[in-house]
Amino acid sequence: MVIALTSETAIVIDDDYDVTGILAELLESQGVKVLGTGYTGGDAIHLFKKHMPKLIFMDVHMPIKDGITALREIKNISPNSIVIMITGDTSSLVEEQLQILGANSIIHKPFRMKNIIQIIKEVQKHSTLVTS
């Protein structure tokens, strides 16, 4: 039996269809209602404006419009939105840029399900940057 972690809403954006699907399923299994999924930064901005979710899970490197650009636009619209960035890029430059732009958390690929659950709990408690 799964105990719901939260009753929050989310969107999931990643250009890897498998990652998007797995992450959306994990969130749903933890009581997070996934309002939409997308595959580009443009999708992120569109879905954010349409649904105004509490949580945004978004990849950093995507085609057409990257996650850094989308993060900047989302935070300009709603500075208090909780944006959790997902990346395989471990460079300190990217991490620093994400912090400056207001990312609440950074999840490094490959990620573990338990790490995502923990990050959700931490972000909801503190709304500060958590790295895994």
What would the pLDDT profile of 9-44 be if each residue is shown by its tens digit?
999 999 999 999 999 998 888 888 999 999 999 999
* pTM, to two decimals: 0.86
Report whether pLDDT(1) > 80. no
| Sequence spans of domains, the chain | 9-131
End-to-end C-alpha distance for the chain, whole angstroms: 26
Helices 67-77 & 92-101 angle (0-180, nearest 10)? 20
Percent of the chain with pLDDT strictly greater than 70: 87
The string of pLDDT tens digits covering residues 50-76 is 999 989 999 999 988 999 999 999 999
Q: Residue 118 and residue 132: Cα distance in Å, rounded?
A: 9
The fold adopted by the segment(s) 9-131 is Rossmann fold (3.40.50)
What phi and psi, each to the nearest 5 degrees, are found at residue 104? -85, -25
β-strand partners of 108: 87
Residue 123's alpha-carbon distances to 17, 41, 62, 87, 100, in angstroms, are 25, 22, 24, 17, 17
pLDDT of residue 2: 39
